[in-house]
Amino acid sequence: MAEFTLRIDGMHCGSCIRRVTQTLSAIEGLKVEEVRLGAARLSAAEEQSAPQMAIAALAKAGYQAQLEK
Neighbours of 63 (CB within 10 A): 19
Predicted model pTM = 0.92
- Name the DSSP class of 10: S
Enclosing domain of residue 22: 2-67
Better-predicted residue by pLDDT, 1 or 37: 37
Nearest to 6 by CA among 47, 56, 55, 53: 55
CATH number, position 44: 3.30.70.100
Number of domains in the chain: 1
pLDDT in tens, 7-53: 999 999 999 999 999 999 999 999 999 999 999 999 998 767 899 99
Q: What is the pLDDT of residue 45?
A: 83
**Alpha-carbon gap, residue 36 to 48, rounded angstroms:** 23
Q: What is the pLDDT of residue 47?
A: 67
